[in-house]
Each structure stands twice: as C-alpha cells, then as structure tokens.
Structure 1
Amino acid sequence: MPRTCVEICAGAGGQALGLEAAGFEPDVLLEIDDKACETLRLNRPNWNVVEGDLREFDGTPFKGADLLAGGVPCPPFSVAGKQLGADDERDLFPEALRLVEEIQPRAVMLENVRGFMGAVFEDYRLKLKARFQELGYWSEPRLLNASDFGVPQLRPRVVIVAIREHERHHFRWPQVMQDNPKTVGETLYDMMKASGWKGAAKWKTRANDIAPTIVGGSKKHGGPDLGPTRAKRAWATLGVCGMGIANSPPDRDFVGTPRLTVEMVARLQGFPDDWKFAGRKTPAYRQVGNAFPPPVAAAVATQIAAAMDAADAENGSEQAA
C-alpha cells in the first residue's frame, strides 16, 4: 500500500510532486492561494485539494497519516525581511506543531529558507526541537542546495525532518549527487530556440552556469521579475534579462538579451514540462518562484520512506521471532 501524507502550504505542487515520486499519496493538500489550488486541481484532478487558512485547518480527520509535510511561510526568517521569527504573524510553525499533535504522523518534513539557520534564530530552533521531543519525535534541520540534487539552480533551502524517536536510527539524509547539474544554457537551449532564434547557440555557450536562486516575490509588489539587483546582475552574466518574464521564446531575428518564460523558470525549478500553472503570467510565475524543487523534495521523502520501510521490516522480524 502507498504511504499517505498530509501536505500544508502546498503551493503549486513542487513538494507534492516530490512526495508523489517517493511513493506518498496525499490524503489532503491545504493551500490558501486560489490560483495555486487551481494549479493542483488542473494537474491532479483526483487529489483532495482544500483552499483555506492553516490556522483554521483541523488535522484530526487525518490522524495516523504517515507523513505531515509542508513549506511553512518563509518571510519570518528571510534575510530579505525583518527576521521577526516568532514575532511575525506569518510564523506558522506553531500551527504545524499543532497538526503534528493532532495527526500524530510517523514523520514530518518542513521546508524553509536558509535564514532559518541563522544565529539569530538559535533559540527558536532549540524550542522547536524541544517541542518535537515532547511530542515523541527526533528532529533535525539541514541546509540543502538544490544543485546538489540535479536542479540547475543554487537555491539553498532548510529542510526539517522529524521522525518518531524509536525509528530515528533508520533515517539517513540523502546523498549529494556527484555529477554537476546542467547549466542554464544546456537546460533551456531547446526552449530558447523553439521559435527559431538564430542566436540560441551563442546564448547557450554564454549561459554556462547554474541559475541563481529564483524568487517568487510578493503580491504586495509589482509584476514578475527575477529578483533584487544582485540577482539580476547574476542573471545578466548568463545572458538573461531579469527585468521581467517573457510571454514566449525569442523570435527568429531577436537581438539583445532574452527574458525567460514561465515554462523556462519552471524547468529551472525542477518541474516536469507537462506541469501546467493556472492564472496569467504574474500569478503563474509567483507559483513557480515560491516552489520547493520537486527533485529535492523527492530525495528527502525517499529517505523518509526508506526509514519507514526499514522500521516496518525490523518490527516484522521481531514479531516473527
């Protein structure tokens, strides 16, 4: 039987795709953004997608699910923000812990930004670990780079894994891939030349590194772009204009620095090409930019599933004896 999961703050399905690849089936996916919910339903009509606020979500109907997973909001811990942590109204770790208590899953997998590991949040991390211990779980945060798992993008992210104390010895963090990921040029060349752009081959040679971290931006700001000034400079060295998102690839006689399309950014995030995003360009890009790369989610979730398999096999052999 497939293992079950409850996913909170599901977004546009990056983590859900990783969980699916690792053999988990969702009992429910909770997401507050209507366009992201539309994306999930568009691609997986059979999934139980619930649009709503995590603070109002009752986990008790899903008690006993194998895994609770989610990407709780990043702004409370982002170096781009005020780093208010627990004092930020968007801090949803307390709600995630409430669900751990209500659902009592075998394991928990939560994703956040690199800033979560900063010295300023040491007390916060210790309190989180202590609460997991009270609930019967061993837990550990680890900083993972998407590029170490085949994603052509830097994208450092913190993943917190918690497993029931008596099963912790079965869990191992995923191994880093030995091969370097493809460059931006290698990854997007077929898309850049799709309309016959004569400069595509030259562009591919220039775009000879992985992408900087893709950002989704905030609804409070304007249209989509590839991030702050420093990020735009990094994109410029790769031959990409970071000032906005294009509607289509460069045409045959295009001259200048091309912009990426939503589909190109999605591929750089590790989404499969057949995953479609609901809404117009701006909401679609934000869904992509805020996503957890599916290959990273799959790597961690596969190790969680392996730990469960090992624990089940151990329990089976003990019972047989």
Structure 2
Amino acid sequence: MNTIEMCAGAGGQALGLHNAGFEHLALIEIDAHACATLRHNNQHLKLGWGEIIEGDLHEFAHIRAHDFHKQVDLLAGGVPCPPFSKAGKKLGPDDERDLFPAALKIVQAIQPRAVLLENVAGLMEEKFASYRQSIRDTLHSMGYCTDWKLLNASDFGVPQLRPRFILVAMQENIWPHFSWPKALQENPKSVGDVLFDLISANGWEGAEAWKAQANDIAPTLVGGSKKHGGPDLGPARAKAAWQKLGINGHRVADENEIPQRNFRGVVMRDGKIKDGFANMPLLSVRMAARIQGFPDCWHFIGTKTHAYRQVGNAFPPPVAQAVGLQIMAALQAFDRQYR
C-alpha cells in the first residue's frame, strides 16, 4: 500500500505510517529544515521513501497532484493547527494558514482510496461545526464516507496526553471494513521512566529523586510560533504542569546542559536559581522527541529552535501507526473480498 504525505513536517506521521507498512510515494513540506530532516533520515535509515517535495501545498495541488491520479492508496497529512488552536486566534477558515481547502483539492485530483487528516482538538469546538460538516460534505460528494474521532496519544503508549482530532475518509465500498484503533490496555510510561537514562547520563546525584517526582505523563508539547522568540514548553499553564513533573519549562536545553553530578538547578543570568525551580532540569530536543514517541535514531536537522519546533509540531509516530494499521487492514480486507 502506498501513500502521499501532505505537510509532512519532521516525519512523525510518515514514520508511523511507514511502521504500519505503507510506502511513501512523495512527501510534501514547505519548511526547509523539516525537509532536511526528512532527507537525512530517509537516507541514513535507508527507508526507501519517494520524492521529498519542498514547497507549498497549494502549488502541489495545482501542478503535481494530477500526476498521481488513481495511483494512491492513502493520502495523509497534518494540515496546520494554528487556525484552530487554543493558543491562536481561532480564525478557522478565515486564517490564511488553513490548508484544508488545498488538501481537498488534492483529494479531488488524486482520488486516493483512503484519506487521513489530523489536527488539534480545538477543531472539535462548536464554532467550527459547520466547517467540519462542509469538509465532510465535500468528501461525500467525491464518493467518500467519513468520520472524525478524538484520539489521545497516551492511549497508544506515548507519555503525554496530546489529544488529536482525526479525520478518516474511505471510498464508500471500502468504508465498511474500517474501525478505529482501540486504546492499549497498559498505561504509558511516566516522564521519569522515559527520560531517566538521559537525565542521569552525566551522573546527576538527584536523578533518582527527580524520577520519583516525574511520575506522570507530560502535558501536550507545543512547537511554538515562528513569530515568537526561541523554543520553550508553552504558555504559563503548560509550564506549571511541567514544573509539577520537575521540569523547568522556560526554555529548551542545549546538549551541554544535561545535569552534571552536582546539578542543583538552572542558574539564571544573575547567578541564582529561580525560586521554585531547584533541582529542575531543562528538557532537551532529544528528550522532547522521546516524549513524542520518536525513536532515538531519528535526527532533527537545524538549530535548537528549528529542531524543537519540528518535534513540538509532530504527530506522534505510535498514534499514526495505530491508525495506519486500521486503514491498512480495511484496504486489505476489501481487496481480499473483491479482487
């Protein structure tokens, strides 16, 4: 089964679908650093992915999409979240970053057997009800059955809540074979369990005590906006949630800031440790990637800011894999029955 991946980012969804057994014909992404990440991992991990197209989704819809007409099993993507995010102005279809219309044009041009689109939970709000229905109506007019569902990453082994609103659409004759993935029975590992080896790598004496404090899953990681400074772990409420887990969320660590043996907290410019943040390490890009469910072999290209944005904006690979396996099963069941 093959795919085309829209708004591929650093490859979270693409990796999950790859692990579910799909082969990528092409991946489209406008950010140069994310494209470099995709190319690097494709080459060094020998993934065998197809063309990585660095460009705008509107341009692909008008120029390239017809080249793949009726050659694609699954068209997948995570269109930009800011139009529907709680952290934004929630302009929805009035936001110039809304790429649902471009994605639907690509569906029309390619006519894949199945479609997978993911976005933030904010898209579930009542104010977007008519917009969600318009997306479904457009897909129905093309011959697809559709369903929206909220999935929490923590239900699939990812150590953070990260609710994502997922749309799956399939051609009408395939749709009866589809069912949503079921949550895993076991609870996800805590932040302490997942990050302990990285936090303690330099022999930090307080690592065991920190692990005991970090005994829950993480709040939702955020990638941040290009309009707002360097990387951190989100707004005040998110930073407070990280603080409960013993993480200083005010910025992202450089690789040389992994706690040393006598670490007592991050020293500020005045030479002091900020009140309330004693014995609280920063999160590095690699640590954030683990919390998103990326394997350690997956490398992110660019500066710390560019790399962290790629991580924070990603769709966790284990969730994409779970949904991908269900889509794969539906396509295979149909093929066995009718071909």
Give the TM-score band, short-chain normalised. over 0.9
2:195 corresponding residue in structure 1: 188
Q: Is the 8 A contact 1:6 1:62 kept in 2?
A: no
1:259 is matched with: 282
Identity %: 60
1:280 aligns with 2:283: no
What is residue 22 of structure 1 aligned with on the other side?
Answer: 20
Question: 2:6 maps to what in 1?
Answer: 8
Structure 1 residue matching 2:14: 3-state secondary structure: helix
User: Please, what TM-score do these two structures have when normalized by structure 2?
Assistant: 0.92
| 2:259 is the alignment partner of 1:250 | yes
Residue from 37, 44, 50 that aligns with 2:53:
50
- 1:166 CA drift (Å): 1.1
1:271: Cα distance to partner?
Answer: 0.2
Matches of 1:79 and 1:207 in 2, distance apart?
26
* 1:97 CA displacement: 0.5
The partner residue of 2:230 within 223, 235, 239 is: 223
Alignment of 1:144-155 (within 5 A): 144-155=151-162
* Corresponding residue to 2:122 among 96, 115, 120: 115
Question: For residue 233 of structure 1, what is the aligned residue in structure 2?
Answer: 240
Whether the 8 Å contact between 1:101 and 1:135 is mirrored in structure 2 is yes
The residue type equivalent to 1:251 in the other structure is Q
State the aligned residue count: 314
1:66 aligns with 2:89: no
Q: 1:78: Cα distance to partner?
A: 1.0
> Which residue identity lines up with residue 239 of structure 1 in the other structure?
G
Please give the secondary structure, in 2, of the residue aligned with 1:27.
Answer: strand
CA shift, 1:251, in A, is 1.0
Q: Which residue of 1 aligns with 2:170?
A: 163
Which residue of structure 1 aligns with residue 82 of structure 2? Answer: 75
Does the Cα contact within 8 Å between 1:27 and 1:62 map onto a contact in 2? no
Which one of the candidate residues 177, 182, 188 is aligned to 1:175? 182
Q: CA deviation at 1:280?
A: 1.1
Task: Name the TM-score, length of structure 1 as normaliser.
Answer: 0.97
State the alpha-carbon separation in 2 of the partners of residues 260 and 241 from structure 1: 7
Deviation at 1:167, TM superposition (A): 1.0
Any idea what the Cα deviations from partners look like across 1:92-128, whole Å, max 9, x if unmatched? 1011010101111000000100000100000001111
Report the equivalent of 1:319: none
1:297 equivalent in alignment to 2:300: no
Amino acid of the structure 2 residue aligned with 1:218: S
Unpaired segments of 5 or more residues in structure 2? 266-279
For 1:33, the aligned partner's letter is D
Query: What is the root-mean-square deviation in Å for CA atoms of aligned residues?
Result: 0.7
1:308 partner amino acid: L
Cα distance in structure 2, aligned partners of 1:52 and 1:100: 18
Q: CA deviation at 1:247?
A: 1.3
The residue identity in structure 1 corresponding to 2:42 is R
Q: How does 1:85-96 map to 2 (within 5 A)?
A: 85-96=92-103
Separation in 1, partners of 2:203, 2:87: 39
Q: Could you tell me how far apart the structure 2 residues matched to 1:84 and 1:274 are?
A: 37
Distance in 2 between residues matched to 1:271 and 1:30, nearest whole Å: 20
1:79 Cα offset (Å): 1.8
CA distance in 2, matches of 1:11, 1:169: 31
Q: Read off the aligned partner of 2:192 and give its amino acid letter.
A: G
| Alpha-carbon separation, structure 2, partners of 1:246 and 1:96 | 36
Which amino acid in the other structure matches residue 58 of structure 2? R
Shift of 1:243: 0.5
